[in-house]
A and B are shown apart, each in its own frame.
Chain A
Amino acid sequence: MRVTASMMTTNTLRDLNLSLGRLQKTQTQLSTGRQITKASDNPTGTATAMGLRKSLNRADQYSRSLEDAAGWLATADATLTSGLELLARAKELAVAASNSGGISDPNARIAMSTELRSIRTQMLGLANTTQGTRSIFNGTAAGAAYSSTGVYNGNSGTVVRDVAAQDSLAINLTGPQVFGTAGGAVGDMFEVLDRLATAVLAGNDAAIATEHTNLDGATQLMAAATVDTGSRAAKVENIRGRAADEVLRLRDQLSNIEDIDPATAILTEKMQENSYQAALQVAAKILPMTLLDFLR
């Protein structure tokens, strides 16, 4: 095949251009630190990277929800523990009142009754504990959970938090679930405490015995609620540990796909630079030579 000067020039230019193009691509990768500067560089990698980013954003969201849930459950736990202590004291008083076989001293009875009423008031205060601006035993209603007379103002709504992918957790207990349902033969804890205080004041042994039994029932309900809250808090702790690992894993994967390996990139750049220089030198030697240089 005949080779003409214009063919040689075109070929040399094209090859230099290709070499320079490769060099430029490596340079862009080195200066941005990313392998994928635009989606078409690696379509499958881009698709994976987008999915990973999404998962990372959602993991951030889950960690916020987890913090919120942990705070709520810790408050509930502390409240219920205090409540159990109060009930223990009330039980002591009830036992003392019935053991005395009808205390004759009216002052002692007045004192016990007053203390029982005070326990009831404190318990009402605990029932209206808030987390931030919300009462934690209120369900999804606004305002305080219990009125000053012990009437439940809330509803039976659940408060749910999304804590992981496809894993949501109800974090609340409603008033009736903790303190018992009002009305009926037994009533809720506040009614029991109320009737117990009245019975102690009146010295009504039979009533004291009945309310003592009811108090045990209320204590069991509250204990069960405490256990329930504790197990939810443990689950939240468990998920938090996993979530932190998950985030690390996701970031690692994302970096693998998107970021360059500096050592490889620098070596590649060096190689390409060398080959470009060699191409330039060869072109400089060959292109200007013609027969003219050798004819007399």
Chain B
Amino acid sequence: MTGISSLYTALSGMRAQSKVLDLTGHNIANAATPGFHRQRAELEAVGNSTPGLFAGSGVRGYGVNVIGVTQSIDVLYEARAVREEAGRSQMALAGSTLAQLQATMPEPSDNGLGSQLDAFWGAWSDLANQPDSAGVRTQLLAKANSLAASLHSTAAEITAIRDSAIVQVAALGTDATGLAAQIATLNRAILVDPDHSLDLKDQRGVLVTELAKLTGAVARPAESGQIDVYIGGRTVVSGANSFALDGTTGTLRWAADGVAVAAPSGDAAALAATLTDLVPRYMTALDNVAAQLVTSVNTLHTAGYDQAGATGHQFFDPTKLTASTIALSTDVAGQPNKIAAGAPVLPGPVAPGPLDGEQARAIALLAGSATGADSQYHSLITNLAVETNVAFQRAELQDQVADSAKQQADSVGGVSIDEEMANLTAAQRGYEASARVLTAVDDMLAFLIEHTGVVGR
């Protein structure tokens, strides 16, 4: 029976469509917002829930109700996208660190350590040809000094990479702690009304992705719309509580008890690998090159004789065996005539003639030694090149994987302008149609009220 209640049926239609319009407007406005998932209104027809025993055939509906707003979100895809973003961040940082390491030792080049080593051995060969020339001796000392200087500066650059990684770890600790605190705050806000905090949940999702990029964090849903966040199996956010991370010591640690954070991926994992593996490994390799240079030259040099017939001089300082400390020994520094060019005459051994250059020749032949400094340097560069190449390729691959994961998540939760436009048109027409119904009922009621019960007036 048409009556006042029909007005309310039409009204419910108008309210529902205007709510849908609202949501469509919200979606379109947030089409480019990062981390936003499109929202849909859930409409339900209002009917007689329990028809009365004697209701007969008068069962009718009472319009439409908006029972809620849902977000289009696929939890599995989202989790995967976050994980792959963390991986992408880690691979990119690892690749760029290796590129920096490689840039400290540029090869192939005419100015790199390889060429300097060649020049050094060449100076020994010149000395073998002209043991009596003061110019050649001075030149040899100069070449040795410049080789040592190059080793120093390369070592310093590698140390600089390590130092900058330490600074980054400290900054990361502060950032991660801040993000965790913000996630905890949002958790508390969402707890107040979990079903109507969709936008807060989106904001929280963005923060979780940021934290994952930094530390490889993983989020798990908890009660009442909250989430718990874990790093390496240990809780960093639980409900409204967050735990602090501290990176000021150069290792990322939990501020509460100082235990090191076991970050599975993200920037933290890349930085930890840099500090505990990459830099020490290549620094040691470079130090080995320097040590091999010092010991191989000194072994031959101490057995050799200088122009005065004295023996036992060290060429390099034997106590300084790292790339950052290698230096000429005080036996020969500034005293080119003390360089031992002559080889011992066997048996004896006794001093050779003052113009003998055989020991210098033997030292020059160290250039081709299979265990010498040159071949160790060669291996270092080749290993570094291969490792860097592999890191770049992995970073590219991870880029593609992360993009594909993001696309899948976007496909479910992203805003399609075309779709929203269609919804908008439908909602608009629906509103207009409901308004029409309202008008029609209104007219009919008006007619009823004004024109019935006036017989005889």
Interface residues of A (CB under 8 A from B): 1-7, 10-11, 14, 36, 38-41, 43, 46-47, 49-51, 53-54, 57-58, 60-61, 64-65, 68, 132-134, 138-142, 154-155, 157, 159-162, 165, 168, 258, 290-292, 295
What residues of chain A lie closer than 8 Å to B384, measured between beta carbons?
39-40
Of B255-263, B347-355, B430-438, the one with at least 4 CB within 8 A of chain A: B347-355
B283 within 8 A of A: no
- Whether, in the assembled complex, B397 has its beta carbon less than 8 Å from a beta carbon of chain A, the answer is no
B32 at the interface (CB under 8 A from A): yes
A40-B102, A133-B133 provided; 20 other pairs, C-beta below 8 A? A1-B408, A2-B416, A7-B407, A7-B411, A10-B407, A38-B99, A38-B102, A39-B108, A43-B382, A49-B107, A51-B378, A57-B115, A60-B122, A61-B121, A140-B356, A142-B355, A157-B345, A160-B128, A161-B128, A295-B421
Chain A residues contacting B114 (CB-CB under 8 Å) are 50, 53-54
Contacting pair A50 B108 (CB below 8 A)? yes
Question: Taking CB as reference atom, which chain A residue is nearest B417?
Answer: A290
Instruction: State whether A142 touches B354 (Cβ < 8 A).
Output: yes
Nearest-neighbour CB distance to chain A for B356, whole angstroms, equals 4
Give Cα A280–Cα B103 distance, bound, in whole angstroms.
Answer: 33
A291 vs B382: C-alpha distance in the bound complex, in angstroms?
Answer: 56
Q: Are A6 and B122 in contact (CB under 8 A)?
A: no
- Cβ contact of A6, chosen from B126, B410, B418, cutoff 8 A: B410
Across the interface, B407 reaches (CB within 8 A) one of A11, A46, A58, A132, namely A11
Residues of chain A within 8 A of B47, CB atoms compared: none
The answer to whether the Cβ of B31 comes within 8 Å of any Cβ in the partner chain is yes
Q: Do A53 and B115 touch (CB < 8 A)?
A: yes
Q: Is the CB of A43 within 8 A of B354?
A: no
- 9 tightest A-B CB contacts, nearest first: A140-B353, A4-B414, A39-B385, A40-B388, A43-B385, A57-B118, A140-B356, A49-B108, A291-B421
Which residues of the other chain, A, contact B414 by a CB distance below 8 angstroms? Answer: 2, 4-7
Residues of B within 8 A of A2 (CB): 411-412, 414, 416, 419
> Does B221 reach chain A (CB closer than 8 Å)?
no
Cβ-based interface call for B40 (8 A)? no
Output the residue of B129, B374, B392 with the most chain A CB within 10 A. B129
Give every chain A residue within 8 A of B415 (Cβ-Cβ). 4-6
Q: Which of B98, B418, B422 has the most CB of A within 10 A?
A: B418
A160–B361 alpha-carbon span in the complex (Å): 8
Closest to A45 in B: B108
Q: Complex Cα distance A10/B32, Å?
A: 11
17 pairs of residues in contact across A and B, judged by CB atoms under 8 Å: A5-B416, A6-B410, A10-B406, A11-B403, A39-B108, A39-B385, A41-B389, A50-B108, A57-B122, A58-B121, A64-B126, A68-B130, A138-B355, A140-B342, A141-B353, A162-B128, A295-B425
For B232-251 the 0/1 string (1 means CB < 8 A from A) is 00000000000000000000
A-B contact count (CB 8 A): 169
- Chain A residues lying within 8 Å of B125, measured Cβ to Cβ, are 61, 64-65, 162
CB under 8 Å from chain A, chain B span 100-155? 102-103, 106-108, 110, 114-115, 118-119, 121-122, 125-126, 128-130, 132-133
In contact, B411 and A3 (Cβ under 8 angstroms): yes
Q: In the complex, identify which listed stretch (B13-21, B183-191, B318-326, B362-370) lies at the interface while the others stay far away.
A: B362-370
Collect the chain B residues with CB atoms within 8 Å of residue A5's CB.
31-32, 414-417
Contacts A7-B411, A140-B352, A295-B425 hold; do A36 and B386 have CB atoms under 8 A apart?
A: no
What is the CA–CA distance of A39 and B391 in the complex, to the nearest angstrom?
13
Is B358 an interface position by the 8 A CB rule? yes
Point out the residues of chain A lying under 8 angstroms from B381, CB to CB: 39, 46-47, 50
CA distance A3 to B419 in the complex (A): 10
Query: A154 to B122, Cβ gap below 8 A?
Result: no
Contact A50:B378 (CB < 8 A) given known A162-B361, A291-B421:
yes
CB-contact partner of B107 in A46, A65, A155, under 8 A: A46
A61: B residues at CB distance < 8 A = 121-122, 125-126, 364
A134 to B355 CA separation, bound complex (whole angstroms): 8
Known contacts A6-B32, A10-B407; decide if A39 and B388 are in contact (CB<8 Å). yes
Q: Do B129 and A68 touch (CB < 8 A)?
A: yes
Which applies to chain B's interface (DSSP): helix, strand, loop or mixed?
helix
- B residues near A (Cβ < 8 Å) are 31-32, 98-99, 102-103, 106-108, 110, 114-115, 118-119, 121-122, 125-126, 128-130, 132-133, 342, 345, 352-358, 361, 364-365, 367-368, 374, 378, 381-382, 384-386, 388-389, 392, 399, 403, 406-408, 410-412, 414-419, 421-422, 425
- List of A residues within 8 angstroms of B355 by Cβ: 134, 138, 140-142, 157, 159
Q: Is the CB of A141 within 8 A of B132?
A: no
Check if B353 sits within 8 Å of A47, measured CB to CB: no
Q: How far is the CB of B378 from chain A (nearest CB, A)?
A: 6
Whether the pair A40, B392 counts as a contact (CB closer than 8 A) is yes
Q: Cα distance A120–B353 when bound, in Å? A: 27
Docked-complex contact A155 and B353, CB < 8 angstroms: yes
Task: Name the contact of A40 in the complex, choosing from B99, B406, B417 (C-beta under 8 A).
Answer: B99
Q: Provide the bound-state CA to CA distance between A154 and B368, in Å.
A: 33
Q: When the two chains form their complex, are residues A58 and B358 in contact, meaning their CB atoms are under 8 A apart?
A: no
Instruction: Quote the shortest CB–CB distance from A157 to chain B (angstroms).
Output: 5
Bound-state Cα–Cα, A36 to B382, Å: 14
In the bound assembly, the distance between CA atoms of A168 and B343 in angstroms comes to 16
Report the minimum CB–CB distance from A158 to chain B (whole Å).
8
Among the listed B133, B410, B416, B421, which residue makes an inter-chain contact with A292, where contact means beta carbons less than 8 Å apart?
Answer: B421
Q: Which residues of B contact A38 (CB under 8 A)?
A: 99, 102-103, 106
Closest chain A CB from B414 CB (angstroms): 3
* A4 touching B129, Cβ below 8 Å: no
**Bound CA span A146–B416, Å:** 103
Among B108, B345, B365, residue most surrounded by chain A Cβ atoms (within 10 Å): B108
- Chain A residues positioned under 8 Å from B342 (CB to CB): 140
CB < 8 Å: which of B122, B354, B385 contacts A140? B354
Question: In the complex the two chains form, is A40's CB within 8 Å of B421's CB?
Answer: no
Q: How far is the CA of A4 from the CA of B36 in the complex (A)?
A: 12
Cβ B132 vs Cβ A133 within 8 A: yes
B356 closest partner in A (C-beta): A140
Contact check, A10 vs B378: say whether CB atoms are below 8 A apart: no
Q: Which residue of A lies closest to B384 (CB)?
A: A39
* CB contact between B418 and one of A155, A162, A291 (< 8 Å): that residue: A291
